[in-house]
Amino acid sequence: MTGEVMAAVLARMSEAGLDALVLRSSPDLRYVAGRDASGFLVLVPGLPPGFAADAAQAAELIPASVSRVGVDGEMRAHELFVLRVDADLVLASAVLDPLRMRKRPEEIAAIERAAAAADRVLAAARELSWFGATEDGMARRLAAGPDPEVGVSVVVAAGENTARPRHVPSGRVINPGDAVTIRVAARADGYHALASRAFVVAEPPEDFDAVHAVLLSAGTAAADAVRPGVTAAEVDAAAWTVLDESGYGPYATRGTGHGVGLDPQERPWLTAADRTVLAPGMTLAIEPGIHVPDLYGAQVGDVVECTESGGRTMNRAPRALHVLDP
């Protein structure tokens, strides 16, 4: 727990009129405590931070005089009853989200390590033989990379399965002529990064080159729009201008991306409805996708940091469509 974080949290609590903040084991607790921890953390202005093993112990740390308390969004219903708080309850995210969105240098460094690990997985994919393998087999093989200090999960979709944005790898056999989507999530020191790329085996399906080119243009437009003072909605609009003008808008995934950090998906949301103003230190997963039902789909995604001078892409994996050897 750093003094910088604690001072910022207490200041936000004062602005929100909170008399106490109660966090259970969650990304919010990790942010405040600076480490993963079980149990509960209770913050009361003017008192030392209190750690408790369970909700009953946490209740003993909350003064009876409190009138407004922030609680962890992952709190269980029975835990709220055990707290016995006779006060207005609000989500702790109202205090913590604005702080978590702007990463400190050490957080940026951790996300960059995770992005580099995701890049290594995508580089390894280029060297493998894909014909006759299965989606789930290749996903397991790629996730078992030589990176013991970084956790990696991989989704592989092939052929018609690439048209399903939330596809789970199956026993589907990969053949020449298939489009392949690889999505990688990596975690380093508790912080996440995402990367996704589209490939083809031996040769691309008809018109797949055009779909991929549109995605590259949409992703580039969104990344170029990232800079302080721009809203999340404006970044989304930059991508959608390209998607709509291409004619593939009806097949594009709604929402261009989201924030990334202690959670693989967190605020801000790159959607038309999110008016969050970008600021230096925000890290965004920009990952437009096009999915044509029953045919194929593709997604190209990278993590982009908002800096004082604009967007900086953390991932280094080539974005050009790569032909995998059968």
What string of DSSP letters covers 281-326?
T-EEEE--EEEETTTEEEE-BEEEEEETTEEEE---S--S-EEEP-
**Mean pLDDT to the nearest integer, 63-85:** 92
- pLDDT at residue 41 greater than cutoff 70: yes
Are 64 and 177 in a shared domain? no
Position 158: which residue type?
A: A
pLDDT score recorded for residue 149 = 75
Number of domains in the chain: 2
Are 51 and 136 in a shared domain? no
Are 60 and 114 in a shared domain? no
Are 200 and 217 in a shared domain? yes
Residue 65 sits in a domain of what CATH number? 3.40.350.10
Phi, psi angles (nearest 5°) of residue 218: -65, -45
Domain closes at, from 101, 136, 165: 101
- pLDDT at residue 192 greater than cutoff 80: yes
Are 68 and 190 in a shared domain? no
Domain closes at, from 46, 80, 101: 101
**Mean pLDDT to the nearest integer, 83-103:** 93
Are 48 and 112 in a shared domain? no
Domain span holding position 117: 105-324
Are 308 and 215 in a shared domain? yes
The C-alpha torsion from 68 through 72 and 75 to 78, rounded to 10°, is -20
Residue 278 sits in a domain of what CATH number? 3.90.230.10
Are 111 and 71 in a shared domain? no
Encode pLDDT of 7-23 as tens digits.
Answer: 999 999 999 999 999 99
Encode pLDDT of 128-157 as tens digits.
Answer: 999 999 999 999 999 997 676 789 999 999
Are 139 and 212 in a shared domain? yes
Helix (H) / strand (E) containing 80: helix 77-83
| 318 CB neighbour count, 10 Å cutoff | 12
**Mean pLDDT to the nearest integer, 199-221:** 97
- pLDDT at residue 206 greater than cutoff 80: yes
Are 147 and 81 in a shared domain? no
CB 144 within 8 A of CB 162: no
Are 167 and 35 in a shared domain? no
Domain closes at, from 84, 101, 118: 101
Are 161 and 267 in a shared domain? yes
**Within 13 A of 240's CA, how many CA atoms are on the CB side?**
15
